[in-house]
Structure 1
Amino acid sequence: MNRILVVVAPTETDVELLEEAGAIAAAADVEVVVVALTMEGDEHASLEAMRRWPGFEDTGNDGTDTSRRFANYLGAQVLEPLGVEYLSVGEPVESMRPSTMIIEVAENHGCDHVFVTNRGRSPAGKALFGDTAQSVILNFDGFVTVRSA
């Protein structure tokens, strides 16, 4: 294992996922890339949820910077106490398929393991829009760990 990518959103489930990935990274002595995505059409709600996260203080107006600062905040809270080095990334996603961006970020940063939360779409939602976790599993050339929301 060389580097781990963890996709985070402002949810307790995602913080738990980051904790699990951090424990593995600490044991394997590898770096973690923490990425917070903002979705097209849902940017305002995503950014507001980040800004309301307890303890996170956002001073910027730019959505990508807010996402990166949120990823950095979670990294500092969760990974630093474990002694895990991390890189924070904030990415806007311009489509309804965030799996493409997740895989791109993982590949650009040399990650060979991705941790992602399954948001629990209904079967009809999966049929119409696909499932991010499933798409990452099928299209990423590495290991994928999925945690259910």
Structure 2
Amino acid sequence: MNRILAVVKPTETDLELLEEAGVVAAATGVEVVVLALVSEGSEDVSVDAIRQWDGFDDNTDETAETVHRFAEHLGNQILDPLGVEYLPIGERIETTRPSSKIIDVAENHDCDHVYVTNRGRSPTGKALFGDTAQSVILNFDGFVTVRTV
């Protein structure tokens, strides 16, 4: 294993997902790339949720900086105690389908395992709007661990 990518949002499930990735990283001696994404159109709600996250202190008006600092905060909170090295990445993306960005980050950082949550959409919702986890599974050339909300 080279490197793990963990995709996180401000939810307890994503926190648990990052911890699972951290335990695997600690056992195998690899680095974790912590990717926090905010999609255009939902950025106000997402950034508000990030700013209200327990223990996170943000004083910037810049969305990209807030998202990056959130990824860094989660790394400090969860991965540092495990002794895991990590690279925080926070991005604002211009699509509601982040799977291509997730795969790009994984490939650009030589990740061979992706951890992502599945928001539990209905089959109709998946057909209409797509499903990020499913798209990552189908298009990423590596292992994918999915945690369902």
Which TM-score applies when normalising by structure 2?
0.98
Considering only aligned residues, what root-mean-square deviation do their CA atoms show, in Å? 0.6
Tell me the amino acid that sits aligned with residue 62 of structure 2: D
Aligned residue in 2 for 1:105: 105
1:34, distance to aligned residue in structure 2 (A): 0.1
Aligned residue in 2 for 1:45: 45
Q: Does 1:134 align with 2:134?
A: yes
1:91, distance to aligned residue in structure 2 (A): 1.0
Q: In structure 2, how many angstroms separate the alpha carbons of the residues matched to 1:97 and 1:33?
A: 20
Aligned residue in 2 for 1:13: 13
- Runs of 4+ with deviation above 2 angstroms: none
Q: Does 1:30 align with 2:33?
A: no
Percent of paired sites with the same residue:
68
Q: In structure 2, how many angstroms separate the alpha carbons of the residues matched to 1:103 and 1:38?
A: 16
Tell me the amino acid that sits aligned with residue 83 of structure 2: G
Matches within 5 A, 1:50-129: 50-129=50-129
Q: Which runs of 5+ in 1 are unaligned?
A: none
Quick check: 19-28 or 121-130, which moved more? Answer: 121-130
Q: Secondary structure at the match of 1:73?
A: helix
Q: Which runs of 5+ in 2 are unaligned?
A: none
Deviations 1:123-148 (A, max 9, x none): 11100111000000000011100000
Which TM-score applies when normalising by structure 1?
0.98
Q: How many residues align?
A: 149
1:108, distance to aligned residue in structure 2 (A): 1.0
